[in-house]
Amino acid sequence: MLKIYNTLSGKKEIFKPIEEGKVGMYVCGNTVYDFCHIGHARAMISFDIISRFIRHLGYELNYVRNITDVDDKIIKRAEENNESTQSLTERMIAAQRKDELRLGNKMPDREPKATEFMQEIIDMIQILIDKGFAYQGVSGDVYYRTTKFEGYGKLNNRKLDDMLAGARIDVEVAKEHPADFVLWKQTKVGEVSWSSPWGEGRPGWHIECSAMSTNCLGSHFDIHGGGPDLKFPHHENEIAQSEAATGKDYVNYWMHCGAVRVNNEKMSKSLGNFFTVRDVLAKFNPEVVRYLMVSSQYRSAIDYSDQSLTEAKVALERLYTALRQQPVAASFSPTAFTERFEEAMKDDFNTAVAVSVLFELVRELNKAKVDDADKALLLAAELRSLAELLGLLYQDPEYFLQNSTISEGLDDTAIQALIDERTQVRKDKNFARSDEIRDELARQGIELLDSREGTSWTRS
């Protein structure tokens, strides 16, 4: 049975879908005003793997991940760039999808944009006002009345007044309570806006997700996920809005992935340790980045550094080396490796243990390659099949081993030309030149591997 750690209860629970055989999952996506950073990559990859395994278990999954395309940050960045908000968001959405495809992600079933659900957002705000859960302040902005909702704070297991201590909350005269948050805000002249019963304006961030999730998946659905920084206030506010508006429980299982730290420090532009996905992929093969994210269980924090990526590269090379020159089998019968892999994944998607099973399988595969070619063929197929659930080992082994590090030195054509020359001079018994070529390639980070089939190479 699949077990999921539920942030709401603070413990692992046996997963029971609302509708047998079907799962609805909503994940908070990005506010598209800038390029994706490695923290975004962690959430993207985590929930991609979760969606893959849920489908592997036979569930019919509806995976929805929103795009926040109207927000104060978007408006500010568009003004700085002297471009329209639509131009900025479209450009950032295209960049995000490119990053995701390079990282090996599959796209969600649906990616609703906030601007596409404006009427639904306005309708939900009106319901909250009618029920007494929201009010229009003297500023014209509409606020959620947190003191009206008895369950406020249940996701974080804290009382309302306790959550205020030390929290950054804007105190406005228009608010009835410091914790009340905006549902609809008045806009300045020239800013993007929509007509509403409360004047020209735009929605607050929290109400966008409540409207999109309930319209895409229903008032009550199975799983809601996101990054660790969203538990409060965003997800707490989502619960308050949604349950007050619908009168139903909002979500059964809340899932939050761990943070990405850089050299054991919080990632921050002010600290100079902020890295976009495209920055990282300029130095490392995308699958190396994915392996780093997969090698820890999704709730664990990850420490990002060049060293950790180098270690991930070496580990992934071990997996690919085992598949080198191994033909692809049409089918295979799962062994105990598959059983242990699935047990790990059923235990709250424990990819760390699942990856360790892959290395156990590799050790058995390497033994079989020596004296049992048929067994090796089947084990290699099993390795590929299990790794696919993690989004790994999708590249040709030779290609990956030659491109696991982005090199500014010799290109593939130049390397092959030197290898061909070395093959010829060895035939001519000019071993001095052969050694010169090997040494020259080694200085460029190219390691040669001689075998009966010929000479192959990897970047070291």
Rounded distance between C-alpha atoms, residue 44 and residue 97, angstroms: 11
Q: Give how far Cα 354 sits from Cα of 208, 295, 340, 347, Å.
A: 36, 9, 8, 10
Q: Give how far Cα 333 sits from Cα of 128, 245, 328, Å.
A: 55, 50, 14
Residue 209 assigned ligand-binding role? yes
Residue 234 assigned ligand-binding role? yes
Residue type, 321: T
Rounded distance between C-alpha atoms, residue 86 and residue 136, angstroms: 28
Give the list of residues 6+ apart from residue 442 with CB closer than 8 angstroms, or none.
Answer: 460
Residue 426: other Cβ atoms inside 10 A: 15
Residue 238 assigned ligand-binding role? yes
97's tokens: 């999808």
Rounded distance between C-alpha atoms, residue 341 and residue 350, angstroms: 9
Give the list of residues 6+ apart from residue 288 with CB closer than 8 angstroms, or none.
Answer: 309, 312, 313, 316, 404
Q: 391: phi > 0 → left, psi -120 to 50 → alpha, else beta; which?
A: left
Paired with 302 in beta bridges are: 260
Residue 144: other Cβ atoms inside 10 A: 26
Give the CB-side neighbour count of residue 413, counting CA atoms within 13 A.
Answer: 0
Rounded distance between C-alpha atoms, residue 411 and residue 195, angstroms: 57
Residue 269 assigned ligand-binding role? yes
Residue ranges of the binding site: 28, 209, 234, 238, 269
Residue ranges of the binding site for Zn(2+): 28, 209, 234, 238
Residue ranges of the binding site for ATP: 269
